[in-house]
Amino acid sequence: MSDEKQAQYSMAALPADERPRERLHRLGSEAMSTAELIAIVLGSGMKGCSVLQLANQVVSHFGSLSALAEATVAELCLIKGLGKAKAIQLKAAFSLGGRLSKQSFTQKYRIESPLHAYNLVKDELANEKKEWFVVILLDVKGFVIAQEVVAIGTLSETLVHPREVFYPAIRHCASSVILIHNHPSGDPKPSKEDYTITEILVKVGSLMSIPVRDHIIIGKERYISLKQEGFSFVSSL
């Protein structure tokens, strides 16, 4: 589609008082409907369908904002008029919103038990087909500063280096960390390698004055805390 033809179905083609961008500028985002906000992200519609009509079709197709946010690029492309480029724009917008929401949540979230840490990451890790190694960064009072994926392994192993684990902790000035990884098999029983890497990271954390508080292994709908299992997180160094 040429720029001239595309402009015919863009927001500029709508009556001035119906243009989402102008309405947002005048009234603020709180006064905008979901479809209007999506129209701003999309930018243009298609032949015979304005950008606002296309946005309404997107909302109607998925039924809820949460379902739309979880849709894949391929699923978004199933909607007529929503090509790959527009689908990627939508996916990027929802991904940014999700990251901001998670950041706002974690900054107010205090971990006082292994269950708290498990609840923080279980939805992300429980069904992964590969091992993900995550480090949760805590401030001096136990509130979450951030969480970062530091390694993604194969179906059977994860390669974790202390540098990748403690670099985020240094960058965020964390007072302590909690280690978490998943077992794709669904069985959270710790392996010999799990104990070995934990011992190494506890020693490194002690040397850096960034103690490791726990190492939690996530399986299918359950978890194991090495601290609760009796593993000592006090380094012998």
pLDDT one-digit tens code per residue, 1-21: 444 444 444 555 556 566 777
Q: Which domains does the chain have, with CATH numbers?
A: 3-106 (1.10.150.20), 114-225 (3.40.140.10)
Cβ(217)–Cβ(125) below 8 Å: no
Q: Which residues on neighbouring strands pair with residue 118, listed in sequence order?
A: none
Q: What is the pLDDT of residues 151-165, one digit of tens each?
A: 888 655 667 889 989
Return the minimum-mean-pLDDT range out of 15-19, 69-73, 233-237. 15-19
Q: Quick check: 158 and 202 in contact, CB under 8 A?
A: no
Please give the average per-residue pLDDT across 171-183, as a whole number. 95
Q: In what order do the strands lie in the sheet with 223-225?
A: 144-152, 132-138, 176-182, 212-218, 223-225
